Structure 1
């Protein structure tokens, strides 16, 4: 079978959308750090729409921060890859539509060529540097949002400015080189699931720049822009079966297609230093303030996604659609949104929360995605502060109960034991895995008690000022005792009857 590339793309089946513009005329306007599946199914797709409309300034240089696998798969394909949008028809039969994305012009692997990454950021045509590096990629304290200068990657970068390892180091040293050459300011844009992600990025960049040169920090602060944004599309990990199915449909081999649901959302503050694509052509909303949209998404989508993932993973429900098909879990997730999360959200003109909730449950039930609960369960120490604990703080401050929020946190703690209810062992994939699993074994591993729960709450990188909170500890103890004694399904039945956290 031939390989997908610039020479074979014209011979694809007529039903496959492909670039109609001259890719040879495409300039690089965007450097993206963290060219994973989500970015290729989200931001790159919106950028493709702007390019297809005739604005050829916005080609993308994609940077892999750790591994060469994306570069190795896509470089022989001239950067082309397939986006497979999957859902099911009215009879529940999976279906897909395919689009070949041409926006990626070049790919770099940072550990192999750090100087090349800095040169890309410094290039005169570059106008935007965007990031999807996950929560842990900001090398910050999740509880406070502050850059950790003692983080191993940050310490390395300050000592080795020619070969930075962190996204923050690459940004600052790339900007330093750019400003030295007089190429003007950039927009630095986070697409990660962090509250006020643009402000978190700005704080990290300026703190690092101050450690390098206070004058550099002042120039970046004055000239660069850091818009906040909210991104939303479910993008599961591509499997070998997905590669085979997409390649068969194309009639040529695509080594790294990406999958996505039909739903797409992106709200971004319209604050750019050197122009931007017309992403509205791809479904983007430009807003004055992204915070209400961020809060909506982090709490309703990400918060329930994580709660569902830990409960599902512990029960042996391997994918999101299979988990949400369990009636007690669906009842819990819907009530979690309606009764505990929605009252903490600001009003958004035109938003029907009941319809949003129903749509989200339908998205979770999409059988065509097979989004694995273990994938969502990764990096819990980085995700919980952003996805769950903000809602918890707001409810506790108002004197409101948190039985369903506490069940999600308790499920994460329970997950740290490393074996599900069917006896299947799994690795804890988390930057704090060693500390957390050791803490679990010393405390909850000996059985749920108020002392054990308080010890877990004292883990400052996750819980911060929630340490010692008696109301939260009591709700967690109730949920943990039930999970450890009766299991996930019986615990869901109990919370749905109002018997937990009372």
Structure 2
């Protein structure tokens, strides 16, 4: 390329000579959607679907306003603001090629910590009909031990004391909905796009728990005027690396400070429950259904839990990326056994889904050598992910007296992982909201009391009271400690073959 072009609205015409760009008039788009949490996944998924819809229709009311909710979102806010909301989506095909396109559906960017009132007023605007969320599993303020809203969270206490300057999504939603009610506006649909089973139900329960504390008179209005459709989302979206940015410059001559990379596969299954209109996302590949539960259970317990298996076992084995872990024959065999013997028996009512083909496709997707999904990203916030991705499978199998050996092994491996060293003695990067607690309990576990790790009730609930699980977990812990991850995985795989 003769020169690199800085990505922004002014340069789109020139960039369109190099890669696919929005052909619709972005200046004519109204903001129909406010999205909270404008990270990589949202930009590879909902914003992509919306961009494709805007290309295919003359509709102008579904522009997206992206909200950077946290102080840690400063970089993404500044980057997207400077690029007029534009970014390049780089799809890493299985053959190693890149499919590159500029996405234009995000037409506004707001930074909540700097101007919370502006965000509240934007969500209260009558033209906004949907608020979507990618706030990660930990953002829902759900306490696994109490099975309820964590009322003691310091951020929640702050929002109660400072309603016009909130820090949490619940504070923002409450104030925006209060304003809509006072203004006589319609409610809006709140749609979670996070990896939580019953994500809409969870959002509703957590929001109403907060509203009941701060604005109890608003509860009935929300019940009548706001909907919370469940959805299942899927597209592997690794963190953008400097190499990705450089490759875009080299191949296309585009200077994009924060492109998004993703796999070719994408899926979005949504319950059709929208109180104030919605985009025709089904025209670009989304699926609207009456009940999303069977689909999301399949995805969470196979894909997301599978990621956790590869992440924890891969980290202990010294691997850096998910594709490296899945190309380790014993780790991939472990994952196959886990999916076949422990997850599959818990799944039912999957009309129109070839489960064996789906599981095979997961191994292909995990093994995409062009994705290079970092294991430390997959393992981040495991304390919020494991109760959602793995423990429901464990609970079901305990109740039905089925195998729990592979899940117990995974929990034991996670306890050892939480010590912060892999099998070679190299440091592990552990990113978790309760990293200190995990490490402290892991240390106690390593000093002759393996079950100490299961005492973290916010993660494991009452799992420590199951004698069968504790026995399997303790045996696995002792094996990993004595033999190392590789040999222990091999032994468990061989034992499983002998029992088939």
How far is 1:458 from its partner?
Answer: 2.4
- Of 89, 106, 116, the match for 1:83: 89
Deviations 1:53-100 (A, max 9, x none): 2211111111111221112111121111000000232xxxx1110111
Q: Which residue of 2 aligns with 1:18?
A: 21
How far apart are the structure 1 equivalents of 2:361 and 2:44?
Answer: 20
Q: Does 1:115 align with 2:117?
A: yes
Q: Secondary structure at the match of 1:341?
A: helix
Q: Does 1:73 align with 2:79?
A: yes
- Of 67, 71, 75, the match for 1:63: 67
Which deviates more from structure 2 when the two are superposed, residues 271-280 or residues 10-19?
10-19
Q: Secondary structure at the match of 2:353?
A: coil
Q: Which residue of 1 aligns with 2:150?
A: 148
Residues 231 and 266 of structure 1 are in contact (CA less than 8 Å); yes or no, is this contact kept in structure 2? yes
Q: Which residue of 2 aligns with 1:162?
A: 164
Which contiguous aligned blocks of 4+ residues in structure 1 show a shift greater than 6 angstroms?
499-502
How far apart are the structure 2 equivalents of 1:501 and 1:225?
Answer: 50
- Of 192, 200, 215, the match for 2:202: 200
How far is 1:151 from its partner?
Answer: 0.7
Deviations 1:340-378 (A, max 9, x none): 101100121121111001100000010111001111101
Q: Which residue of 1 aligns with 2:260?
A: 258
Structure 1: 5+ residue stretches without partners: none
Q: Does 1:404 align with 2:401?
A: no
Residues 92 and 264 of structure 2 are in contact (CA less than 8 Å); yes or no, is this contact kept in structure 1? yes
Residues 144 and 458 of structure 2 are in contact (CA less than 8 Å); yes or no, is this contact kept in structure 1? yes
Q: Which residue of 2 aligns with 1:477?
A: 474
How far apart are the structure 2 equivalents of 1:99 and 1:416?
Answer: 39
Which deviates more from structure 2 when the two are superposed, residues 456-465 or residues 189-198?
456-465
Deviations 1:97-156 (A, max 9, x none): 011100001111111111111111101100000100001111111355421111111111
Aligned ranges 1:224-243 → 2 under 5 Å: 224-243=226-245
- Of 50, 55, 77, the match for 1:47: 50
Residues 178 and 184 of structure 1 are in contact (CA less than 8 Å); yes or no, is this contact kept in structure 2? yes
How far apart are the structure 2 equivalents of 1:251 and 1:15?
Answer: 8
TM-score normalised by L of structure 1: 0.95
Q: Which residue of 1 aligns with 2:446?
A: 445
Q: Which residue of 2 aligns with 1:468?
A: 465
Deviations 1:27-64 (A, max 9, x none): 10000111100000001001111211221111111111
Deviations 1:257-287 (A, max 9, x none): 0011000001010000111111113311001
Which deviates more from structure 2 when the two are superposed, residues 224-233 or residues 239-248?
239-248
Q: Does 1:416 align with 2:418?
A: yes
Q: Which residue of 2 aligns with 1:100?
A: 102
Structure 2: 5+ residue stretches without partners: none
Residues 451 and 474 of structure 2 are in contact (CA less than 8 Å); yes or no, is this contact kept in structure 1? no
Residues 28 and 57 of structure 1 are in contact (CA less than 8 Å); yes or no, is this contact kept in structure 2? yes
Q: Which residue of 2 aligns with 1:134?
A: 136
Q: Which residue of 1 aligns with 2:12?
A: 9
Superposition CA RMSD, Å: 1.6
Q: Which residue of 1 aligns with 2:492?
A: 495
Residues 49 and 281 of structure 1 are in contact (CA less than 8 Å); yes or no, is this contact kept in structure 2? no
Residues 13 and 250 of structure 1 are in contact (CA less than 8 Å); yes or no, is this contact kept in structure 2? no
Q: Which residue of 2 aligns with 1:377?
A: 379
